[in-house]
């Protein structure tokens, strides 16, 4: 009975694909893989990797054709999928946590809600860490001393860097911001030269190199998602998971919701989905194909070639994150801006 059922599902998907491509097209000939960013970045690399293994594990081995549709930080592509694709398995979208962020999908030009998409799976980087100079660590907890200097990129600090914002807000850290660095390389040089005392990174090679000098240590880690829960990574030693440090420290309900927003965004990275209203039968085929990809050693190794700390995520794990972000009140998403302004950053 299972074999017959799978054959029926495969037949259903193939006929759906054929319908999307035209009645005279061979069944299962191609799948349109929409990538919400330009070529060359992390989302693009993950999308092309996932697409290659969908070709391997989808029934009939259809050709997966990547198509980059950059624009408006991903909104252009998500609008395209909602407004112009047929929800029959012929189109898949690959995007990042940006498109699950209420600050983006609630913009007037956005015509989609990530909660409506049918998640297939995703991939993360295994979490970020805050690196700190050993000699500066004691100043972090002593406000009679000069504050530890946190280096950040320009604009709003990335999610990993925002651990410092919450550390100042909830844990009373004695720290201040220096922003405007253009990339990881500049931040690393600034750290090594003593211009700054702290910064965040997800680059495992860089973390190991800094620790090997004997001058730096991991202050805390954002944590990685495992079986739906945040946990520490063994590569980061006994560095505490940041959410555990903050647990119980935020008495204001809105602040607690805002922290939930941050901690969810921090572990949501790349995700892949079918358009809203895709039939359950097609969904099950895609999820089964991605589950097989996650168990494939070649897929895992190729993911680590993209990022040392690549961690594949199942559909249910990603779905929980998307649903949580979609249900957050607008006030919670705006709270981080309030915190950063209070800490002297000029954010809009």
Q: How many CB atoms lie within 10 A of CB 52?
A: 16
- Tens digit of each residue's pLDDT (9 = 90 or more) over 102-161: 878 888 999 999 999 999 999 987 678 999 999 999 999 999 999 999 999 876 787 789
What are the domain boundaries of the chain? 2-124+269-309, 129-265+332-342
- Give yes or no on whether 2-124+269-309 and 129-265+332-342 have one common fold: yes
Spatial contact of 267 and 126, defined as CB atoms under 8 Å apart: no
Instruction: Return the H-helix or E-strand segment holding 42.
Output: helix 42-57
pLDDT at 328 over 90: no
**129-265+332-342 in CATH: which number?**
3.40.190.10
Q: Concatenated DSSP letters for 127-146?
A: --EEEEEHHHHGGGG-TTSP
What do you get for the CA distance between the two ends of the chain, in Å? 58
**Partner residues linked to 149 by β-bridges:** 176
pLDDT at 255 over 60: yes
- For the residues 251-270, what does the mean pLDDT come to? 89
Q: Concatenated DSSP letters for 232-279?
A: --GGGTTPPBHHHHHTT---SHHHHHHHHHHHHHHH--EEEEEPTT--
pLDDT at residue 344 in the model: 92
pTM of the predicted protein model: 0.74
Cα separation values, 247 from 166, 243, 250, 264, Å = 11, 6, 7, 14
- Tens digit of each residue's pLDDT (9 = 90 or more) over 158-195: 778 999 999 999 999 999 999 988 888 899 999 999 99
Structure tokens at 127: 């979490």
Beta strand pairing call for 91-95 and 30-35:
parallel
Q: Which fold has domain 2-124+269-309?
A: D-Maltodextrin-Binding Protein; domain 2 (3.40.190)
pLDDT at residue 25 in the model: 32
- Tens digit of each residue's pLDDT (9 = 90 or more) over 35-74: 999 888 889 999 999 999 999 999 999 999 999 999 988 9
Averaged confidence pLDDT in the chain:
87
What span, in angstroms and rounded, lies between the C-alpha atoms of 57 and 52? 9
Structure tokens at 271: 């995700």
Angle, helix 42-57 to helix 297-306, in steps of 10 degrees? 170
Residue 132 or 19, more confident:
132
Residue 10 or 225, more confident:
225
Given the structure tokens 């008495």, which residue do they identify?
251
What span, in angstroms and rounded, lies between the C-alpha atoms of 87 and 54? 17
pLDDT at 243 over 50: yes
What span, in angstroms and rounded, lies between the C-alpha atoms of 77 and 279? 21
What span, in angstroms and rounded, lies between the C-alpha atoms of 128 and 161? 9
Cα separation values, 162 from 156, 165, 263, Å = 9, 5, 10
pLDDT at residue 348 in the model: 67
**Partner residues linked to 297 by β-bridges:** none
pLDDT at residue 87 in the model: 95
pLDDT at 5 over 80: no
- For the residues 76-100, what does the mean pLDDT come to? 94
Spatial contact of 313 and 227, defined as CB atoms under 8 Å apart: no
Which SS3 state, helix, strand or coil, does residue 328 take?
coil
pLDDT at residue 149 in the model: 98
HSE at residue 123, side-chain half, CA atoms within 13 A, is: 30
CA torsion 69-74-76-81 (nearest 10°) is 80
pLDDT at residue 226 in the model: 72
Instruction: Return the H-helix or E-strand segment holding 285.
Output: helix 280-294
Nearest to 85 by CA among 32, 48, 22: 32
Provide the pLDDT confidence category of residue 201 given band limits of 50, 70 and 90.
confident
pLDDT at residue 196 in the model: 97
């Amino acid at each position: 009975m299972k074999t017959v059922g799978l054959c029926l599902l495969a037949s259903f998907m193939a006929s759906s694909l054929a319908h999307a491509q035209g009645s005279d097209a061979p069944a299962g000939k191609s799948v349109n893989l929409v990538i919400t960013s330009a070529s060359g970045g992390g989302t693009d690399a993950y999308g092309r990797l996932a697409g290659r293994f969908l070709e391997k594990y989808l029934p009939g081995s259809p050709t997966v054709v990547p198509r980059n549709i950059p624009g408006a930080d991903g909104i252009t592509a998500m609008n395209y999928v909602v407004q112009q694709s047929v929800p029959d398995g012929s189109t898949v979208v690959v995007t990042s946590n940006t498109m699950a962020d209420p600050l983006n999908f609630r913009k007037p030009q956005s015509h989609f809600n990530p909660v409506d998409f049918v998640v297939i799976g995703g991939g993360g980087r295994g979490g970020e860490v805050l690196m700190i100079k050993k000699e500066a660590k004691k100043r972090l907890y002593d406000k009679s001393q000069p504050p530890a200097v946190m280096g950040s990129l320009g604009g709003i600090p990335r999610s990993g860097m925002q651990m410092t914002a919450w550390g100042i807000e909830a844990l009373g850290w004695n720290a201040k911001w220096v922003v405007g660095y253009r990339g990881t390389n500049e931040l690393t040089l600034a750290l090594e030269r003593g211009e700054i005392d702290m910064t965040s990174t997800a680059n495992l090679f860089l973390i190991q190199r800094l620790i090997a000098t004997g001058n730096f240590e991991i202050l805390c880690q954002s944590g990685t998602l495992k079986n739906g829960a945040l946990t520490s990574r063994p590569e980061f030693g006994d560095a505490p998971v940041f959410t555990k440090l903050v647990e119980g420290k935020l008495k204001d309900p809105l602040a607690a919701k805002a922290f939930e927003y941050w901690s969810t965004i921090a572990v949501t990275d790349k995700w892949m989905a079918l358009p809203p209203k895709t039939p359950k039968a097609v969904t099950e085929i895609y999820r089964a194909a991605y589950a097989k990809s996650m168990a494939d050693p070649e897929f895992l190794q190729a993911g680590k070639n993209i990022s040392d700390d690549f961690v594949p995520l199942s559909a249910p794990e990603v779905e929980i994150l998307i649903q949580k972000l979609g249900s957050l009140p607008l006030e919670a998403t705006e709270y981080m801006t309030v915190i950063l302004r209070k800490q002297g950053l000029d954010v809009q």
